[in-house]
Amino acid sequence: MRSSEINSVEIARLAGVSRSTVSRVINNYPNVPPETREKVMKVIEQYHYVPNLSAQVLAGKKTRTIGLFMIEAGHVSSDMLSNMLLASIIENASASGYYVLTHIIRNTRDEGGVRGIKDIFYQRRIDGGMFIGAANEEPLIEELVDEGFIVGVVDQHLPGRNEANRIVVNYDNEYGMKLAVGYLAEMNHREIGIVNGDMARYSGPSKFEGFLAAMRHHGLEVQDRWILPGGFHEEDGYRALRAFLDTGERLPTAMVMANDSVAFGAIRALRERGLSVPEHLSIVGFDDHVLSARFQPALTTVKVDFNGMMKQLTEAVIRRIEGAEDTDIEQAASSRLIVRDSCRKL
């Protein structure tokens, strides 16, 4: 049977369940046994069945709704940067006459949660989706792209995968690291370390590669003992510096942090040991967090134009939904160094 001919009655027959059960699965009712839901969804996916939610959707009319999915295990409400990204996308979508359906994904390995996200796409409740915080190669995103859904991704780099329905925007981390390391070199720092970000996400390795390139450019030696594993949250920076200080190793004179939140955590760990910034360690952050100018000491950081990036991505996704083919986004290069009080000249 061709997928264009299949309906809920056929789905029920093929899955060996009642039509009402198919309806409950499609509408994501909680009173469906997991094994039954799985059986029905396998048939739906196999035949690319689109539920008959409304004649308008079947006739090709758009919902004028974008899905916005934040992948984050922690508390998004307490992360000001995440809130800024979400608000920017909602504002830009609204300006184009689109609604935004938002959802936080706690764990992309949770089959039930992932199934719920797929259902939103399969049921055509949205015209396209945007993902923030995903691993560079996230199976959920790749499955949706393969299915032909329009997907926008923040922070991804997969050479050779340039599908028309995949729209990506990235940070120019190489340029940002060039600014950070270059400034420290101008301040006569020769011993510079880094607290890395999440290496499963593209920004993690791209920032580290940018750091290595900048160090080479200035003829500075990279020492493994000053390359610390981290992440993109304040607690990651705290744990990284606390663990390093526990080793008894000598600090470098300066460190670049994966972002400002990581810098806040690192400074907290230093303070607990009676060490201060910049007297004992100069620090450069990334992103220009909303609190960076008010932090003590005020944080020197690489400012990234997040609002501009989110505007680019949102508008490109909407153009693609509306049929435009030219939706490529150039890598954002509008980073600039903000000099404050967290670095000192040697």
**Calpha distance 168→251 (Å, rounded):** 38
Comparing 329 with 65, which gets the higher pLDDT? 65
Residue 59 confidence (pLDDT) = 47
DSSP-assigned letter for residue 35: H
> Hey, what amino acid is at 294?
R
pLDDT more than 70, % of the chain = 91
Alpha-helical segments (H) within 248-295: 260-272
Whether 254 and 222 have beta carbons less than 8 Å apart is answered as: no
pTM for the whole thing?
0.81
Instruction: Say whether domain 173-304 belongs to CATH 3.55.50.30.
Output: no
How many other β-carbons are positioned within 10 Å of the β-carbon of residue 55?
8
**Calpha distance 134→139 (Å, rounded):** 10
**Calpha distance 220→68 (Å, rounded):** 42
**Calpha distance 163→313 (Å, rounded):** 15
Place of tokens 């020197």: 300
Q: Is the peptide bond before 51 cis (omega within 30 degrees of 0)?
A: no
Q: Does 319 score more than 90 pLDDT? A: yes
DSSP-assigned letter for residue 78: G
Most confident by average pLDDT, 108-112, 296-300, 326-330:
296-300
Place of tokens 């560079």: 136
Q: In what order do the strands lie in the sheet with 282-287?
A: 227-228, 192-195, 254-257, 282-287, 300-303, 336-338
Taking only the tens place, the pLDDT of each residue in 56-103 is 444 456 889 999 999 987 777 667 777 888 899 999 999 999 999 999
Exposed (0-12), middle (13-18) or buried (19+): which is 242, by Cβ within 10 Å? Answer: middle
**So where are the chain's domains?**
1-34, 173-304
Alpha-helical segments (H) within 59-132: 80-95, 111-122
